[in-house]
Amino acid sequence: MILNNEGKEKPIRITEFGFPTGGNKDGGFVYSEANQASVLTRYLALMFVNGIEKAVIFNLKDEAVDENAHYANSFGLYDVSCDDGTESIAAKKSVKAIETMIDVLDGLVPLEAKQQDVGEGTLFEIVFADSMDRNKTVFWYTKMDGMGQKDRVDYSDDEMAVILSVDSEDVYPVDMAGKISSPQVYITSVMVTASDEPQYLVEM
């Protein structure tokens, strides 16, 4: 209706964007800071390529000091501790992961999202480009571990060597923490090790 009457598209925003750390409500599984960072960066990459205008973080910091707190208490990007009545906060791994994503993708335009079956899992690639048509690709590999536990994100620690297409021989991967590594480059392709933690393949 907005498009028909006003000639413009309706902006889409996502609120209460987050993922917890600590124990789930049934016990038996703990979401680590690395799990949180991985999920949030994957969510953001998918939001960017699907034209989401804005994502509003659910909680900037935890609402409780209990490391096994559930739900809203542990959705923060900052951990909370209390000693002698004084509150202290410390950044979780998600903060660095989001900072890395912003540093790598700032000013780029999303081009396409791809996924393909690789082994027993799925390889995801989201391609961005700068004003000089140099690509930067967010990629990750996921494989369900078959546990099927209620209220649990079905994580596995599997990694997979994958081949990604590139337009440049001058490329390098960047991990969630901003660490750069050296891949094996074969003219128009590159071999990298992918996991459920997103990485960025930067073409120069």
DSSP characters for 14-36? EEEE----EE-TTSS-EE-HHHH
Evaluate if residue 202 carries a pLDDT over 80. yes
**Number of neighbouring beta carbons within 10 Å of residue 177:** 13
Q: How confident is the model at residue 173 (pLDDT cuts 50, 70, 90)?
A: very high
User: φ and ψ at 156, to 5 degrees?
Assistant: -135, 160
**Number of neighbouring beta carbons within 10 Å of residue 23:** 17
Cα gap 56→136, rounded to integer Å: 25
Structure token pair of residue 122: 């799925």
Task: For residues 67-81, give the mean pLDDT.
Answer: 75
Mean pLDDT score of the chain, rounded to an integer?
Answer: 84
59: helix, strand or coil: coil
Evaluate if residue 51 carries a pLDDT over 80. yes
Give the start-to-end residue ranges of the domains of the chain.
2-94, 108-203
pLDDT in tens, 5-28: 666 677 888 888 888 887 655 555
Query: What pLDDT shows up at residue 150?
Result: 43
Query: What pLDDT shows up at residue 149?
Result: 44
The angle at the Cα of 31, spanning 28 to 36, to the nearest 5 degrees, equals 165
User: What would the CATH number be for the domain defined by 108-203?
Assistant: 2.60.40
Query: Strand 54-57 and strand 13-17: pairing?
Result: parallel
